[in-house]
Structure 1
């Protein structure tokens, strides 16, 4: 190739086309600028690992809390039914009020029973007169028998008449007592103290003693029962834990129960287990457990659905973590851990009960694990972090 010779003609060409020369110089300047930027320009550094608060898991005693669905039941329930036939004349109570035992509730027309009472009194009087006459005959015959003035047969007949008169008097007295009871039954009274429900009959209704017409119902509301059903298999597991020493259970009467009402609020009064059924329902495979609660404000009502948290002893070597450290998505729960190299690891856990801001972990964690309790929303699994120990240890006992 001949050497480049900037001739006069070419110089003239450059001189006559300055825009072409400028374009070629710009293309030569761009690579040079990039080279300078890559060699001598400032470089951006990677950000430091984000800080997170952790707790180190230590096993300890945790409460063994069993949460069960239940229903409120009255300690005593009495159905008030008619014991005599008649027409209801008056309701004597305020529906929904508390009444003492023996309080009058209804008045049934008593006139028919009062007439029967008068008739029974007359029958007793007639039987009494016949009894007096028979006894007087026996008294007259008694001295005459020894003198042969009255035959022995006549004396025996007088004695028989006297005995029949005594029986008639006893029968009349029983009929009179029955008549008085029926007059008393015309005033229907509360058999127990408690809260009386709405009336099932109104004034003017015909009630029957033979068919025991239901008139109202009384429930004793304080104290009150909460009944729960527990699977028999779960109870067997608890028995095995007790036998192995992993679970310490107090006496039945000392087991505490807390109620969660339908609106999610906790009932303030703590109850105690007072009965555990020793038979298994063959249709459901469950056993009945009952707790007793004070109910001074009548906040708990029969038929109400509740959830009971039964503190069934203390589980040895249990693990719990603060509730804010647990991520719950659907039916799966997980926590984020900090590994030895300070990287984030996600681990699925099985939750037990929750109490005092702590989740009891049934499985998934071991003593020594470092669980992120604050800051886990800003990190991802595999990411490096700077752990900060929030507390010295996460106690095994939920507080």
Structure 2
């Protein structure tokens, strides 16, 4: 009887002894874990050229609308649509018959008055005619000269010429069309394409911040490069030639709060055409003490703030709120939150949390930082 009860209670006693052993030595049961290894990069300040990429539109360097100075029937079109024309080149011939007849009449009247004025001059010298008659004749002669000159100008206007050199577009009138002075529609349009303008807009806030940074010394002027502008087409390809900044508009657009910046580019092959959408990269200045970090080590916290992880003085991971106003050469420019000498964690971010002990291992030079490493 006693033997049977002892056998039944033995497992219970062993179980209790096992619990007691386990509870007395937890350190011996759980394996010890050291600090998590992370790849770090020491923050160093270095000079960086600051530029801004802005959307823009191309515009003709010169734009001239060809309009008739006299009315009449168009007899000829003297140019090929889409061709290059020179200033003064004939473009249209308006029927000149009426203007030629007017000029002939004016010249005949002028010749008669010339003869009369000469006779009156001789007669006035011997007091054969009054001085008043002579003065009246000379006045009529001046009017006749003006009338003849006007008729000559109108006859010349019957041949419409190019006001500027450039590329002419399509003709808006055909042979046989009636044109009039002051008509709303131009006969054609001429645009000078080499060089060509690129107009971009910049917010007033950005311009003011740039001026403040330059005044405080946070950004050093780029000197000769400050006016340089590079251009990219809509498909992302780069335009082969550099332009220069011509001017900044003095008026703020009240609806957008922006000003217009105009750059001029050489365009000898006419790769740029008016109205094209492009992106212009403007060199603004040089930051002598720029802190640049890889884009993919910057995350966002629950408040939407940009954050980075660094190794704190106590050897633990520390989360820093940073300010990243722009991207420079594929890296974030950090204006606040990091300083030279900080150990920025660039690898192993997925294994750590703020406050965890970490072991800093220098990242290789060619290390591609990322939160997933």
Instruction: Tell me the TM-score normalized by structure 2.
Output: 0.76
**Deviation larger for 126-135 or 354-363:** 354-363
- The structure with the largest alpha-carbon Rg is 1
RMSD over aligned CA atoms reads: 3.6
C-alpha displacement of 1:86:
0.8
- The answer to whether residue 261 in structure 2 is matched with residue 289 in structure 1 is yes
Structure 1 regions of 5+ residues with no counterpart?
Answer: 5-44, 146-153, 395-399
Q: Which residue of 2 aligns with 1:58?
A: 44
2-side partners of 1:348 and 1:263: how far apart?
36
Change (3 A) 1:259 1:371: farther
- The answer to whether residue 361 in structure 2 is matched with residue 361 in structure 1 is no
Alignment of 1:125-140 (within 5 A): 125-139=111-125
The superposition leaves residues 294-334 of structure 1 with CA deviations (integer Å, 9 ceiling, x where unpaired) of: 11121222222222221111123222234576679xxx796
**Deviation larger for 299-308 or 383-392:** 383-392
2-side partners of 1:165 and 1:370: how far apart?
101
Change (3 A) 1:302 1:364: farther
Q: Which residue of 1 aligns with 2:158?
A: 186
SS for the counterpart of 2:87 is: coil
- The answer to whether residue 291 in structure 2 is matched with residue 305 in structure 1 is no
Q: Which residue of 2 aligns with 1:279?
A: 251
SS for the counterpart of 1:200 is: coil
2-side partners of 1:253 and 1:333: how far apart?
34
2-side partners of 1:253 and 1:174: how far apart?
56
- The answer to whether residue 360 in structure 2 is matched with residue 389 in structure 1 is no
C-alpha displacement of 1:223:
1.4
Structure 2 regions of 5+ residues with no counterpart?
Answer: 5-30, 369-373
Q: Which residue of 2 aligns with 1:72?
A: 58
2-side partners of 1:231 and 1:344: how far apart?
39
Change (3 A) 1:119 1:54: farther
- The answer to whether residue 237 in structure 2 is matched with residue 265 in structure 1 is yes
Change (3 A) 1:3 1:261: closer
- The answer to whether residue 180 in structure 2 is matched with residue 208 in structure 1 is yes
1-side partners of 2:291 and 2:91: how far apart?
58
Instruction: Tell me the TM-score normalized by structure 1.
Output: 0.71
SS for the counterpart of 1:214 is: coil
Change (3 A) 1:348 1:79: farther
- The answer to whether residue 216 in structure 2 is matched with residue 244 in structure 1 is yes
8 Å contact kept, 1:343–1:381: no
1-side partners of 2:190 and 2:305: how far apart?
47
C-alpha displacement of 1:267:
1.9
The superposition leaves residues 244-269 of structure 1 with CA deviations (integer Å, 9 ceiling, x where unpaired) of: 11112245884222223222222222
- Size of the alignment, in residue pairs? 336
**Deviation larger for 99-108 or 314-323:** 314-323
